[in-house]
Amino acid sequence: METLTIDKPTQTADFLPLNGTDYVEFYVGNAKQAAYYYKAAFGFQDLAYAGPETGIRDRASYVLQQGKIRLVLTTPLTSGHPIAEHIKKHGDGVKILALSVNDAYDAFKQTTQRGARVYMEPQTLTDEHGEVRMSGIMLYGETVHLFVERKNYNGPFLPGYQPKESHHHPTDTGLLYIDHCVGNVGWHKMNEWVNFYEDIMGFRNILTFDDKMISTEYSALMSKVMSNGNGFVKFPINEPAEGKKKSQIEEYLEFYEGEGVQHLALATQDIVKTVTDLQSRGIEFLTVPTTYYDELIDRVGHIDEDLEPLKKLGILVDRDDEGYLLQIFTKPVEDRPTLFFEIIQRKGAKSFGAGNFKALFEAIEREQESRGNL
Min CB(261)–Fe ion separation in Å: 11
Tell me the DSSP string of 298-318: HHH---SS-HHHHHHHT-EEE
Nearer to Fe ion by C-beta: 277 or 342? 342
Stretch that binds Fe ion, among 31-39, 138-146, 299-307, 336-344 (CB under 5 A): 336-344
Minimum distance of Fe ion from residue 329's CB (angstroms): 8
What's the closest the beta carbon of residue 49 comes to Fe ion, in angstroms? 30
Binding span for Fe ion by CB under 5 A among 2-10, 121-129, 262-270, 301-309: 262-270
At residue 140, what are phi and psi to the nearest 5 degrees? Answer: -65, 150
Q: Which is nearest to 44 in space by CA: 352, 281, 207? A: 281
Binding footprint of Fe ion, residue count (CB under 5 A): 2
**Least distance to Fe ion from the beta carbon of 297, Å?**
23
- Mark the segment that binds Fe ion (CB under 5 A) among 17-25, 71-79, 130-138, 334-342: 334-342
Candidates 233, 282, 280, 240; CA nearest to 262 is 240
Smaller CB separation from Fe ion, 67 or 236: 236
Position 290: which residue type? T
End-to-end CA distance of the chain: 25
> Which residue, 64 or 265, has its beta carbon nearer to Fe ion?
265
Least distance from C-beta 178 to Fe ion, angstroms? 11
Q: Say if CB 132 and CB 122 are below 8 A apart.
A: no
Q: To the nearest whole angstrom, how small is the minimum distance from the Cβ of residue 180 to Fe ion?
A: 6
DSSP, collapsed to helix, strand or coil, labels residue 37 as: helix
Q: How far is the CB of 264 from Fe ion (least distance, A)?
A: 8
**Nearer Cβ to Fe ion (149/342):** 342
The verdict on 265 binding Fe ion (CB under 5 A) reads yes
- Quick one: which segment of 145-153, 183-191, 261-269, 309-317 binds Fe ion (CB under 5 A)? 261-269
State which of residues 22, 259, 342, 365 lies at the interface with Fe ion (CB under 5 A): 342
Which residues, 6 or more positions from 5, have their beta carbon under 8 angstroms from its beta carbon? 206, 207, 208
* Sign of the torsion angle spanned by Cα atoms 34, 127, 83, 22: negative
Q: Name the residue nearer to Fe ion (CB basis): 142 or 179.
A: 179
Tell me which stretch binds Fe ion (CB under 5 A): 19-27, 30-38, 56-64, 265-273. 265-273
* 255 sits in which H/E element: helix 248-256
Please, which of residues 106-165 interact with Fe ion by CB under 5 A? none
φ/ψ of residue 282, rounded to 5:
105, 0
Give the residue from 137, 134, 146 showing the smallest Cα distance to 111.
137
Instruction: Specify whether the CB–CB gap between 92 and 34 falls below 8 A.
Output: yes
Which residues make up the interface to Fe ion (CB under 5 A)?
A: 265, 342
